Amino acid sequence: MSAVNFVEVIGQRIEISCMSEHDLLEVVEIEESCGLSRWGWEAYHSELAQGDSGLMLVARDLDALSNAEEHRVAGFIASRYSVDELHVNNVAVRPKFRRQGIGAALIKAVLQAAASRKARRALLEVRASNLAAQALYARCGFCVIGRRKNYYREPPEDALIMALTF
Ligand SMILES: CC(C)(COP(=O)(O)OP(=O)(O)OC[C@H]1O[C@@H](n2cnc3c(N)ncnc32)[C@H](O)[C@@H]1OP(=O)(O)O)[C@@H](O)C(=O)NCCC(=O)NCCS
C-alpha cells in the first residue's frame, strides 16, 4: 500500500500511518486482547499484500517509539476498498489509549482515503452488544441499515450493519 500516505498527529503524541509487516505482531496482539473476531497474522499479512485496495492503518505512539518501549502501536484499522465501496473490517485501540479520539481518527483517515477514490458508500458489521463501537461509528457518520442474524460466532450474536453514504 504505497499510494496512500496519511500522517495525522493527535495531541503531538500519536501518528496515524500505513500499517507495515513490522506492525503485525502488535496488531494481532491487540486484536486478541480486544476479543475481536480472529483474523490472525496471516490474514493481515495477505491483506497488506493486496496493495492499494487494503486500507490498513496504525496509530503509533511516538513516545514509545522514542523511548524504545515494547508497545508502539496504540490502535489499528483494517479496511478494504473495492469498486466504489469501503468495507471496515476491524478497528481497535489499546485500553490505555481509549477515549482520546484515536478510533475516530483511524476511521476518519480511511474514509478520507476512500472518498478520494470516489467511494459511494462505507459499510461495516458490528456486534449488536458492542455499544462502544456503535457509538464510535455513529459519531463518524454511520447509520444502522440492517441486521444479520447469528452473524458472529464465539459467542454467537447478531450483527448490526452500519453504512455511511459519501
Ligand atoms: C471501539 C473503540 C475502537 C473506540 O476507540 P476509541 O479510541 O476509544 O474511540 P474515540 O476516543 O475515538 O471515541 C470517539 C467517540 O466514539 C464514542 N465512543 C467511543 N468509545 C465509547 C464508549 N466506550 N462508550 C460510549 N461511546 C464511546 C464517543 O462518542 C466518543 O467521543 P467522546 O469520547 O468525545 O465521547 C475501542 O473501544 C476498542 O478498541 N474497543 C474494542 C475493539 C472493538 O470493539 N472494536 C470494534 C469492532 S467492530
**pLDDT tens per residue, range 50-72:** 887 889 999 999 888 777 777 89
128 within some domain = no
Which residues have CB under 8 Å from 15's CB, separation 6+?
7, 8, 9, 59, 60, 62
134 within some domain = no
- pLDDT tens track for 18-37: 999 999 999 999 999 998 88
161 within some domain = no
In the reported structure, the alpha carbon of residue 99 is separated from the centroid of ligand 1 by a whole-number distance in angstroms of 6
Q: 148: pLDDT confidence band, cut at 50, 70 and 90?
A: very high
User: Is ligand 1 within 6 A of the CB of residue 113?
Assistant: no
User: Is ligand 1 within 6 A of the CB of residue 138?
Assistant: no
115 within some domain = yes
2 within some domain = no
In angstroms, the Cα distances linking 131 to 39, 40, 62, 102 are: 22, 24, 29, 17
Which residues have CB under 8 Å from 100's CB, separation 6+?
10, 11, 14
136 within some domain = no
| Domain range enclosing 25 | 8-120
20 within some domain = yes
pTM of the predicted structure, to 2 decimals = 0.94
Q: CATH number for the domain including 51?
A: 3.40.630.30
Could you give the number of structural domains in the chain?
A: 1
Which residues have CB under 8 Å from 8's CB, separation 6+?
15, 16, 105, 109
Conformation bin of residue 155: beta by default, left when phi > 0, alpha when psi is -120 to 50? beta
- pLDDT tens track for 12-21: 689 999 999 9
In the reported structure, the alpha carbon of residue 128 is separated from the centroid of ligand 1 by a whole-number distance in angstroms of 15
pLDDT at 3: 45
85 within some domain = yes
